[in-house]
Chain A
Amino acid sequence: SQQGEEDPQALSIQEGENATMNCSYKTSINNLQWYRQNSGRGLVHLILIRSNEREKHSGRLRVTLDTSKKSSSLLITASRAADTASYFCATDVEGAQKLVFGQGTRLTINP
């Protein structure tokens, strides 16, 4: 099964609300990254959080990492219609030289 698993698989909210997506993983990691994918397009890197960090911010994005629970969350505040996309977590597994992607959360922002 995938190293990273996002929850929920799909999320629909009203514009202006906050959106929270979660990612769980199975093995020890060096870092965890979040990416966004608009429909039919490539992925765009959003943020990277290292295993020794607990929280990181970038604009309206807030990422937390709890290595004891092997989980991460991505919070998008004050959502906009342009935030409609799929969001993926990707883990850099210790001992592996590659990223492993989860299955993604499909976020829909309703105007």
Chain B
Amino acid sequence: DGGITQSPKYLFRKEGQNVTLSCEQNLNHDAMYWYRQDPGQGLRLIYYSQIVNDFQKGDIAEGYSVSREKKESFPLTVTSAQKNPTAFYLCASSRMGQGGEKLFFGSGTQLSVL
């Protein structure tokens, strides 16, 4: 099955801890994205990558970091600098890194603070 796989589905973070959310795609898409969704809200862009070894900050990048060493993978690290990390995190990909492309989404990771 082609698609995007996010793991884990649920994640708990302790105070001062960094945690990493995994996102893998086998759609051969060039572009990948991370969004944050708070309850009852829309999606806000954290980081995006249009090509391997390159990525750009989105609207709310502070407290987050990413890497894009492989085309298939775009992990997101929520650092201890992110003071309000509790949210639903969604990874997406598109064929090319342009706004006119439709996005394919993973099933999300719910991050909570202990």
Residues of A within 8 A of B (CB): 2, 4, 30-31, 33, 35, 40-45, 48, 50, 88, 90, 92-93, 96-104, 106
State in angstroms the CA–CA spacing of A45 and B45 once bound together.
17
Q: Are A98 and B42 in contact (CB under 8 A)?
A: no
The one of A2, A40, A99, A106 that contacts B108, using a Cβ cutoff of 8 Å: A40
- How many chain B residues have a CB neighbour from A under 8 Å? 28
Q: Annotate B83-101 by CB proximity to A: 1 below 8 A, 0 otherwise.
A: 0000010101000011110
Q: Are B45 and A98 in contact (CB under 8 A)?
A: yes
Q: Are A97 and B99 in contact (CB under 8 A)?
A: yes
Q: Are B105 and A42 in contact (CB under 8 A)?
A: yes
State in angstroms the CA–CA spacing of A73 and B50 once bound together.
30
Q: Say whether chain A's binding surface is mostly helix, strand, loop, or mixed.
A: strand
Q: Are A98 and B43 in contact (CB under 8 A)?
A: no
Residues of B within 8 A of A (CB): 4, 6, 33, 35, 40-45, 48, 50, 58, 88, 90, 92, 97-100, 102-108, 110
- Looking at A4, A48, A92, A98, which has the most chain B CB atoms within 10 Å of its CB? A98
Q: Known contacts A2-B42, A102-B42; is A96 also within 8 Å of B108 by CB?
A: no
State in angstroms the CA–CA spacing of A101 and B110 once bound together.
19
With a cutoff of 8 Å between Cβ atoms, the chain B residues found around residue A42 in the complex are 4, 6, 90, 92, 105-108
With a cutoff of 8 Å between Cβ atoms, the chain B residues found around residue A88 in the complex are 42-43
Q: Known contacts A97-B50, A103-B42, A104-B42; is A41 also within 8 Å of B100 by CB?
A: no
